[in-house]
Amino acid sequence: MQNKARHIIEFETYADSSALSPADAALLEKARQTTTAAYAPYSRFRVAAAALLENGEVVTGTNQENASYPVGICAERTVLSVASGLYPGVAVVAIAVSYNNELAPSITPIAPCGICRQTLVEYEARYARPIRLILSGQTGEVIAMAKSGDLMPLSFSANSMK
């Protein structure tokens, strides 16, 4: 017998950041501004993430490239490491991700890569709460979703090792 399943991802789209809630707009603006701190001498694709923590603090992280490409780290994983290092045990409520592509316009939303999606799933499970994602470039359309784990259906988890 064959069973079928469906995974539906729900998200909101906005023409620009002016339609976001003040909290989401502020978090996205922080991510946009933080792209200048990214270390991206090879790709010239600067990515930043700003995370709102349960205690009200906001922390940021950027992509950090390396001449040996696999050694680099994405902004999403950097911001999660910063958050857990500075505020151990404090959950992440929301993360805004933006980028500045020095070689082309940065006007469409950016989504986390696969390894970052898996890491976001782990953090949602770790704190037993969803992480809201706000995704955009320097200008233009914004995508917001209530649960970052929706980006990674059938993810590997602690249950996978039982």
In angstroms, the CA 147 to CA 150 distance is 6
Confirm whether 29 is a catalytic residue.
Answer: no
Of the candidates 50, 107, 58, 53, which has an alpha carbon nearest to the alpha carbon of residue 78? 50
Token representation of residue 48:
């930043």
Of 76, 122, 124, 141, the catalytic one is 76
Question: Which residues lie closer than 8 Å to 41 by C-beta, 6 or more apart?
Answer: 65
Residue with tokens 């940021």: 60
User: What's the farthest any 2 CA atoms get from each other in the chain?
Assistant: 54
Residues annotated as catalytic are: 76
